[in-house]
Structure 1
Amino acid sequence: MTEGFGTGCHLHLIDGSAFIFRAFHALPPLTRKSDGLPIGAVAGFCNMIHKYVQDNRGPDAPTHVAVIFDKGSHTFRTDLYPDYKANRDEMPADLRPQIPLTREATRAFNIACIEKENYEADDIIATYARLAVEKGGRVTIVSSDKDLMQLVGNGVEMLDAMKNKRIGVEEVEAKFGVGPDRVVDVQALAGDSVDNVPGAPGIGIKTAAQLIQDYGDLETLLDRAEEIKQPKRRQTLIEHRAQIELSKKLVTLDAETPLDETLDDLEVKDPDAETLLGFLAQMEFRTLLKRVADALGAEPPALSETSPAAADPAAPETPAALPFDPEGYECVRHAAALEVWIGRAQGRGRVAVDTETTGLDEMRVDLVGISLSVEPGQACYIPLGHREGEGDLFGSAALAGGQMPMDEALALLKPLLEDPAVMKIGQNMKYDAKILARHGIAVAPIDDTMLMSYAMHAGLHGHSMDALSERYLGHAPIPIKSLLGSGKSQITFDKVPVAEAVKYAAEDADVTLRLAELFKPQLHRAKVTTVYETLERPLVPVLAEMEMHGIKVDRDTLSRMSNAFAQKMAALEAEIHDLAGESFNVGSPKQLGEILFDKMSLAGGKKGKTGAYATGADVLEDLAAEGHDLPARVLDWRQLSKLKSTYTDALQDHINPETGRVHTSYVITGAVTGRLASTDPNLQNIPVRSEEGRRIREAFVAEEGKVLLSLDYSQIELRILAHVAGIDALKEAFREGQDIHAMTASEMFDVPMAEMTPEIRRRAKAINFGVIYGISGFGLARNLRIPRSEAQGFIDRYFERFPGIRDYMDATVAFAKEHGYVQTLFGRRIHTPEIGAKGPQAGFARRAAINAPIQGTAADIIRRAMIRMPAAIEGLPAKMLLQVHDELIFEVEAGAAEDVADRARAVMERAGLPAVALDVPLVVDAGQGPNWAAAH
């Protein structure tokens, strides 16, 4: 016992709710085998507490510690404001019975367990922190909750235990734009959609921080609100003063909360082995029970042989439970050792697989090693291509010793990796499948943790392995930079010493296996199993095959285009210099701004933080619309410059020297809506509206004796809009095969179809497509180069003629606000975390939510078509090469193009069936030619 809390003491205050909710949402729904009691959150909570205890030893260990919980939903804040936290979802039914068990667990670990009626956990934390500092101690708040950041400073810091990241005064200032002492002022202004704190309408964090910086504190700001120059902001602060002052009361923590336990009662104590082990045995946490018993140097209680926990070695342990032990991974150097791992994988029926290579281009890199994992915490690495020394002029450095011959290892692995009875699990498995395919191994069947996360979490966060591991396993994997270095001194993986490679590579397989065990059961709970099984997983082998086929690109055509673009750019530069009256660097935004706004005195010049004028495309387009030639010519020059650098020059570097073809790589998780992205090179963004952009497609050619065949969905997103919004006029027009833009123009502008002019049709087309993307009057005005009032009039008239579209938009936004996501017709969920945002972000979030179900449904349809396509064209001399948004491109023997087109069109037009039958027909246009431009 110490003599009491005082100078030199270190208090840790753990935010218990954060641990519980992280455990519940990150881990699969586990139940106690003996009686079916839900215990997944309890299991995760116990693992986190045990990890916390093990990690907090040594000179900086806490002398006092408590886990702080919320007692209930009613607090003094709900008395002040009944709607406080009113928008929070009901607690999940399977979490409710676990809440009291987390308190029992805390006490079993012999850690103080504190909660207080009518107060939130944050108030208790604030009070203990104040008391500790007053007595000369230090405080660490184990939480990342922004509401606690007002307490930081003067001996108080926070620790984000999931990221092992300290949060001090600087970190608070970076987040809020003010110091901890003014955080409540900023929160009072900005409000909080999560806690339903009203704040000041239209004022976000950045504006709030600026106002507090300018006026010093909230009270002064409100007293001097009349001085604010912006009329809307001034009116908001004056009219909503009472609401803002109430908001400050809601966000300010009560550091005078009456407490029953003193600081001395929070002294760190060793757990009583019998009590703790008894609780873990009662919960049937078999693996954790053994680990805790080992840490305590005690014998775990014997579980009866009939106990489900004793019979099932995995029950009900969690993937996040085991600590990561890089030193415990095995380096497999001989066939006998590899055969043991293969046998274990076959016996288990699944194995996580990861490849290590010399780079990222799957078609050119060398295989360096393969890692496997069959149980969480158990993984191996098979080094195959590590090298020593610098090499000489005639070849690579010599292979390092102690590695299996690659041919021998791959011969042993091939039957396992192709075994239909063993699931191969990967993170971005398409990459590994292509690497192994180049070595004659057709990996199947596969699971992919990246795609599981994408199916469940699209729109919430990224899906890289490191991000998923940190978020869901609470573990930061070994960074690749620590092995390869960076910049000029960076090495490739084959130069990494084998001993270091084992820790890194085997950990990747271990993490992947744990993520799979975590995510696979959650797919069902998230109601996205069908999305994963029918739209994500089966697409991997289809894309891998397309990427390996690649498409032929004519280097000479690209070279000629580059020269032509260079000449046109030079001519434009001369014209621009003439218009400016002097020579300057057209590619310099700074010099261009000075010419436009200083020398030529054009209107609309705005300087940024650097002091340079803004000269983005929007600025130049506005100036060009006003009839100014120079900005119009600069826009033309910029377009040519981009085409030259991004395509005609760069594409030449992407031609594979072995195949003579370009092999793009598709990113399945590249857009939240399900649309594919394309990288190295990006073939999705080749412009098609300009003549020069279309010409780039001439360089994509068919092999001799073959043609390129293009099949393109006609206006698929407008058809989906007609279906989901129930627009009878649009549906009828599509069924009758009418010109949809002319029909829209006729409806909107009361012009008979026979009298339709190209200009009126062009305007209707811009509105048709603009509405899908939530275009504003401002945006439409810029597209059509007409006054904003006229453009807004068009949009208003559009909604009058097609009221179902406005109904669809309002219903979609309301659904997003209620559920936090929107859905495609096939069940794909796109999360909308920003839907409750204020300010400019609100408009963007609203437009994204409206568009996502339409764009996502179109993406799902073409995915379904691609997945069915290999079987449909089997036996025909054709290969599917590219997907670009709504278009599929094939390379076909010239005489078979019509047959392939017929089969492919049938698949594409029926791709939604049987899951979704649209009220309008899907129509696919087909074309063929010696190059992509001719086929499109």
Structure 2
Amino acid sequence: MTFGKGSHLHLIDGSAFIFRAYHALPPLTRKSDGLPVGAVAGFCNMLYRYIEANTGSDAPTHAAVIFDYSGKTFRNDLFPAYKANRPPAPEELVPQFPLTREATRAFNVSCIEIEGFEADDIIGTLSCQAREAGGRVTIISSDKDLMQLIGGGVEMLDPMKNKRIDREGVEEKFGVGPERVVDVQALAGDSVDNVPGAPGIGIKTAALLINEYGDLDTLLARAEEIKQPKRRQALIDNVDQIRVSRDLVKLDCDMVLDFSLDSLEVQTPKLDDLLAFLAKMEFRTIVKRVSERFGVEAPAIPDVPAPAAAMSEAPSAPKPVPFDTETYEKVSTMGALERWIDAIYARGYVAVDTETTSLDEMQAELVGISLCVEPGTACYIPLGHTIGEDDLFGGSNLVDGQLAKSMVLDALKPVLEDDSILKIGQNMKYDAKIFARNGVTVAPYDDTMLMSYALHAGLHNHGMDTLSERYLDHVPIPTKKLLGSGKSMITFDKVEINKAVAYAAEDADVTLRLWQVFKSKLHTEQVTTVYETLERPLSPVLARMEMAGVMVDRDVLSRMSNAFAQKMAGLEAEIHDLAGENFNVGSPKQLGEILFDKMSLPGGKKGKTGAYATGVDILEDLASEGQDLPARVLDWRQLSKLKSTYTDALQRFINPETGRVHTSYVQTGAVTGRLSSTDPNLQNIPVRSDEGRRIREAFIAPKGRKLISLDYSQIELRILAHVAGIDSLKQAFRDGLDIHAMTASEMFGVPIEGMDPMVRRQAKAINFGVIYGISGFGLARNLRIPRSEAQGFIDRYFERFPGIRAYMDDTVAFAKEHLYVQTLFGRKIHTPEIATKGPQAGFAKRAAINAPIQGAAADIIRRAMVRMPDAIRDLPATMLLQVHDELIFEVDEDACDQVIDVVKDVMKNAAYPAVVLDVPIEVDAGIGNNWAEAH
């Protein structure tokens, strides 16, 4: 096929694939000779997934994997120190480099590397050739150096985040368009590649300069005009160095290649060659997947023992059992079930999984149960598979050959409730609620999702598919394969039983294997206490809260929704008057045209679609400058969100059986340990506006009961005072002072008595902002004051409380050395991006500084929640909700004061005895007929 208009070229950054594979997977050696092959295995899996995923109308017509050639390049002739700082590749990775090239050719994908040139130059040349020929290009890489190529039909796809990077993405990262990326990089330099740049000038400053002067040559020619002395001198003194840096970062897009674009046409893999290579590498899992995918017989891989030397190093390492879904058992007789129950008692533990008709545990019907007692030995017990449509009375036609649900549950109940049998699950809270609704209380249990969270928070998500691929090198059967998608998607009860057996039993098998991997790692990574005292015991507490639910008044929501609609209509009329014409207020495109074309307001910036950006930040900036129309639009948007997200949507979440709303808490959603909630999200209800606070009026207590709210007072500031050792803050908390007024008094030298509320507000914004690493720009926006004044506040704050700056510097240094930070309670929050450069580095540092504080606050309320069921066991009270630092209970009217005393005591002393804080913990309490009154 001749490359031209309509052609689509994919250029894969091979080195990125290799290093991602190497760091993502545990070490793996070929059994026959001990050769390291972990990176090759990961590379093959990634390449196979890439090929499988890229089908359909947007599939590439041409593709190539581009590799760096080992050795010096022309850049070393320009600047001998180029990349001199880079450490050598890990010893075990070196022999795998040529194997990844061999793997690429085995998959019948073009494999390119050229002596004297980097992969980026080859990608640049091919991208330019393809663009000139009228085709499209997708560069599959996260390498920032390639962003200079974007535009005119060339885009990037970050495979780590599955995110497309276009012109707007480049501007977000560099502050300039692709055509000026080289200029910015030449100024900022790159310590990783040892590109010198201009000392003291980073990405942001470089972007400001280039945007102001247009391009690098103009900037250097007019450097004398720059007002800032340091910046001016850095450019004047280093002009030659900057020009060399430009030559180093600019890609060579004019290479003479000995092949054409036409030769990169996508080819079907030659199965004999591919399977022969995979078998030679002894990759059993992917051999099986490829063979099944193409319907051919898998080549035999001899089960050769490892060399004696390797065996002597790890004599007790068990031989991994291959996954084989054909060995899983369908249990359809009570005799077979009894044999499994006997095996569970003999083993002492069992992996358990349920299949249901819905992700909503409060309405899902149990379809089947999976069990696994050892790797490769698993079964599925079908209970509710149906055929055809339900009848007119809601009845269903059960498929023959299934055991009665009641009989199976009666038989399993003693096992699942036996304290001597450990139950193992992945996201066990879901399964526990399903069993609870069927009369079975599952305990005790381990949860592999929570184990992974304790071990790997900040590194990756903790879903079963991710964990299986990463730690077992196995891709489970995808749900989509069974259920389909979109309008044709079916529920699990409609899945053919034989297919359900393979899928469901595999889940239990994977879960057991993950448990075996993670259980010992908890100890070696020193997070056993986090898992055993914070994560695992919280799960059943959350399950009970979710099942209890909270009562919501549908009529209150309906009235609010109508009131919001009327107020929105009034705002629309005001907005139309201010605009001088009618337009769709909800249309960002039409709004942008009104603001920036018709009204000629400053700040107009068009995106790739040609429409102006009208995000919150832009509208807030315009509103802060006294513009009424954007201020009214912000009010309208807030009401619109409240109406759609809460007053309308919450009505749909009211359970028809209980009359309550049952949220689901996610323990693993935030790396710091904070809980999040879904379906519906009750933790993001706005509280800063009157309308937002009114939403809470719809959350009510039933007759004869009250809602009580108990909220930690300034918990994160108290933790900051403790960990940073700020004596004045600690004493202020001990004395019960107004901490924000005290801070204002310390900073601005004004007495606490009779303090101007605006001064206190400024101190409050700084107190809370510092915890989250707020910048002068961010504080200026929050307080609507000049940026220089805001930065002055922050500088003065650090001068007055030097311990906070020391804490921040020490935390960042620790994170850079260890790639994680830790809370007072031992929770590890991994910070893999802490060593990156550019805008991402600032975010990573702020996250590292905040994580131990927010994480400790999350740990404290977790400890309180874990202790709460025992504390209120004999009281007429039910814990319903957790919203960050707040707990909400439903209590009999005459027991409110007693419950508040008990709960306060638990919350105040939650950190003890693990941590003895230097500051007192205070808890505010409120009582009401609804949540708004109680808070």
- On whether the aligned pair clears a TM of 0.5, the verdict is yes
Q: CA-to-partner distance for each residue in 1:776-829, whole Å, 9 max, x for gaps? A: 222222222222222222222222221222222222222222222222111212
Greater shift, 688-697 or 18-27, is seen at: 18-27
Q: Is the 8 A contact 1:353 1:509 kept in 2?
A: yes
1:55-454, aligned counterparts within 5 Å?
A: 202=202, 239=238, 242=241, 315-318=317-320, 322=322, 324-454=323-453
Q: Distance in 1 between matches of 2:166 and 2:635?
A: 45
Q: Distance in 1 between matches of 2:635 and 2:249?
A: 55
Greater shift, 495-504 or 606-615, is seen at: 606-615
Q: Distance in 2 between matches of 1:757 and 1:298?
A: 79
- Give the aligned length: 834
Partner of 2:4: none
**Cα distance 1:145–1:636, how it changes in 2: closer, same or farther (>3 A)?**
closer
Partner of 2:922: 923
Partner of 2:705: 706
Q: Distance in 1 between matches of 2:794 and 2:784?
A: 15
Q: Distance in 2 between matches of 1:580 and 1:249?
A: 51
* Cα RMSD for the two superposed structures: 5.5
Cα shift at 1:251: 12
- Matched AA of 1:506: A
Partner of 2:887: 888
Cα shift at 1:660: 0.7
SS at match of 2:789: helix
Partner of 2:793: 794
Q: Distance in 2 between matches of 1:627 and 1:176?
A: 32
Q: Is the 8 A contact 1:17 1:69 kept in 2?
A: no
Q: CA-to-partner distance for each residue in 1:233-277, whole Å, 9 max, x for gaps? A: x99999476588589889999x9xxxxxxxxxxxx999xxxxx99
Q: CA-to-partner distance for each residue in 1:88-141, whole Å, 9 max, x for gaps? A: 6x99xxx99x899999x99xxxxxxxxxxxx99x99xx9xxxxxxxxxxxxxxx
Partner of 2:679: 680
Cα shift at 1:546: 0.6
Partner of 2:762: 763
**Cα distance 1:782–1:590, how it changes in 2: closer, same or farther (>3 A)?**
same
Cα shift at 1:171: 12
- Matched AA of 2:419: P
- Structure 1 residue 654 and structure 2 residue 649: aligned? no
Partner of 2:294: none
Regions of 4+ moved over 3 Å: 14-30, 41-52, 68-72, 76-88, 98-103, 143-150, 170-177, 184-204, 221-232, 234-253, 294-303
Cα shift at 1:350: 2.1
Partner of 1:627: 626
**Cα distance 1:404–1:930, how it changes in 2: closer, same or farther (>3 A)?**
same
Q: Distance in 2 between matches of 1:44 and 1:171?
A: 29
- Matched AA of 2:802: P
Partner of 2:873: 874
Partner of 2:458: 459
Greater shift, 870-879 or 804-813, is seen at: 804-813
Q: CA-to-partner distance for each residue in 1:8-45, whole Å, 9 max, x for gaps? A: xxxxxx99999899689744999x9xxxxxx9x96968
Q: CA-to-partner distance for each residue in 1:58-79, whole Å, 9 max, x for gaps? A: xxxxxxxxxx99999xxx9999
SS at match of 1:368: strand
- Structure 1 residue 901 and structure 2 residue 903: aligned? no
- Matched AA of 2:366: L
Q: Is the 8 A contact 2:331 2:379 kept in 1?
A: yes
Q: Distance in 1 between matches of 2:782 and 2:45?
A: 58
Cα shift at 1:734: 0.3
Partner of 2:60: none
**Cα distance 1:801–1:402, how it changes in 2: closer, same or farther (>3 A)?**
same
Q: Distance in 1 between matches of 2:145 and 2:337?
A: 51
Cα shift at 1:458: 1.5
Q: Distance in 2 between matches of 1:466 and 1:476?
A: 7
Cα shift at 1:679: 0.5
Cα shift at 1:768: 1.1
1:488-499, aligned counterparts within 5 Å?
A: 488-499=487-498
Partner of 1:536: 535
**Cα distance 1:804–1:421, how it changes in 2: closer, same or farther (>3 A)?**
same
- Structure 1 residue 487 and structure 2 residue 486: aligned? yes
Q: CA-to-partner distance for each residue in 1:830-881, whole Å, 9 max, x for gaps? A: 2222223333323222222221111111111111111111111111111111
Cα shift at 1:686: 0.7
- Matched AA of 2:671: V
Q: CA-to-partner distance for each residue in 1:874-929, whole Å, 9 max, x for gaps? A: 11111111000100011111111112111111111111111111111110111111
Q: Is the 8 A contact 1:717 1:858 kept in 2?
A: yes
Q: Is the 8 A contact 1:702 1:930 kept in 2?
A: yes
1:770-919, aligned counterparts within 5 Å?
A: 770-919=769-918
Q: Is the 8 A contact 1:356 1:370 kept in 2?
A: yes
Cα shift at 1:623: 1.8
Cα shift at 1:735: 0.5
**Cα distance 1:471–1:171, how it changes in 2: closer, same or farther (>3 A)?**
farther
Q: Distance in 2 between matches of 1:228 and 1:478?
A: 62
1:435-584, aligned counterparts within 5 Å?
A: 435-584=434-583
Q: Distance in 2 between matches of 1:420 and 1:251?
A: 65
**Cα distance 1:366–1:78, how it changes in 2: closer, same or farther (>3 A)?**
farther
Q: What runs of 5+ residues in structure 2 fail to find an aligned partner? A: 1-12, 50-66, 101-114, 123-139, 148-156, 172-178, 256-270, 274-278, 286-296
Partner of 1:259: none
Cα shift at 1:666: 0.5
Q: Is the 8 A contact 1:706 1:891 kept in 2?
A: yes
Q: Distance in 1 between matches of 2:511 and 2:634?
A: 47
Q: CA-to-partner distance for each residue in 1:571-622, whole Å, 9 max, x for gaps? A: 2222222222222222122222222222223232222222222222222222
Q: TM-score, normalised by structure 2?
A: 0.75
Q: Distance in 2 between matches of 1:317 and 1:240?
A: 61
Greater shift, 21-30 or 366-375, is seen at: 21-30
Cα shift at 1:327: 2.7
Q: CA-to-partner distance for each residue in 1:683-723, whole Å, 9 max, x for gaps? A: 10111111111111111111211111111000001111111
**Cα distance 1:821–1:308, how it changes in 2: closer, same or farther (>3 A)?**
closer
Partner of 2:132: none
Identity among equivalent positions (%) equals 64
Partner of 2:688: 689
Q: Distance in 1 between matches of 2:623 and 2:332?
A: 67
Cα shift at 1:50: 12
Q: Is the 8 A contact 1:29 1:521 kept in 2?
A: no
Q: Distance in 1 between matches of 2:347 and 2:765?
A: 57
Q: Distance in 2 between matches of 1:344 and 1:15?
A: 47
- Matched AA of 1:353: V
- Matched AA of 2:861: I
Partner of 2:125: none
Q: Is the 8 A contact 1:187 1:199 kept in 2?
A: no
Cα shift at 1:187: 13
Q: Distance in 1 between matches of 2:616 and 2:39?
A: 52
Q: Distance in 2 between matches of 1:742 and 1:392?
A: 68
Q: Distance in 1 between matches of 2:467 and 2:875?
A: 42
SS at match of 1:926: strand
- Structure 1 residue 603 and structure 2 residue 602: aligned? yes
**Cα distance 1:670–1:299, how it changes in 2: closer, same or farther (>3 A)?**
closer
Cα shift at 1:640: 1.2
Greater shift, 416-425 or 718-727, is seen at: 416-425
- Matched AA of 1:915: A
Q: Distance in 1 between matches of 2:789 and 2:808?
A: 22
- Matched AA of 1:373: C
